[in-house]
Structure formats: C-alpha cells, structure tokens
A = this chain, B = another copy of it.
Amino acid sequence: MGRWAPVSHPEINSVEVDDVLKALADPTRRRIVRLLIAEGDRPCGTFGLSIAASTLSHHFRTLRKAGILRQYDDGRQRMNTLRLDELETRFPGLVRAVLDAD
C-alpha cells in the first residue's frame, strides 16, 4: 500500500471549522460527500462526475485535508471513507445541516 504519495489525515481535534466550511462550500465536493453517504465507500474514479481527473484529485485532497474523509490504497484504486462519526463528535450537527441545506 502507499502507491502514490503517502496520504496523511489530520487528527480530528486539529481539524479547523474554517477548512470544513470551505471544503463543503463547493457543490462538487458536496456531491462527493452525498454519494459516499448514499452508496458507501468508493474509489475516486467511480463518482460519475464530468470533471477532469486532476480536478477530481484536487477535490479529494481538499476533503482529506479538511478531515472530512480518509483515503487508503487498494490495488490500483484509492478508496474513500467519510469520517462522519469523528466529525459529529467534533462539530455536532454540522455535516447534517449542510447536506440538508440544498
């Protein structure tokens, strides 16, 4: 594992609300989060977004550095898992309120 650059995930207690809000202020990233909630963990390439691969990669990095999801390598693909429980502990009600908002 660790095919590409080794992914690092922030400690949940060091996650800043600024970063979470900025990450979720983008509609593409909210779509990613929604799809992960609705259909479970998925590799980056399975989101059906009409967007360049490099742009998609940028969005996943943003979500990862904001503490919103974790990534781990699985053969040729990179899997994504939401950190919903941790986020709920750190920022109660926030993710739910944002996703319910549109």
Contacts and interface: CB of A to CB of B under 8 A. Distances in A.
Given A97-B92, A102-B17, A25 B27 contact: no
A17 to B, nearest CB: 4
A20 B97 CA distance: 12
Contacts of A26: 18
A66 B96 CA distance: 20
Given A94-B97, A94-B98, A101-B91, A21 B18 contact: no
Nearest to A102: B17
Interface residues of A, number: 21
A100 interface: yes
A92 B90 CA distance: 19
A12 to B, nearest CB: 13
Contacts of A21: 21-22, 24-25, 98
Interface of A: 16-18, 20-22, 24-27, 90-94, 96-98, 100-102
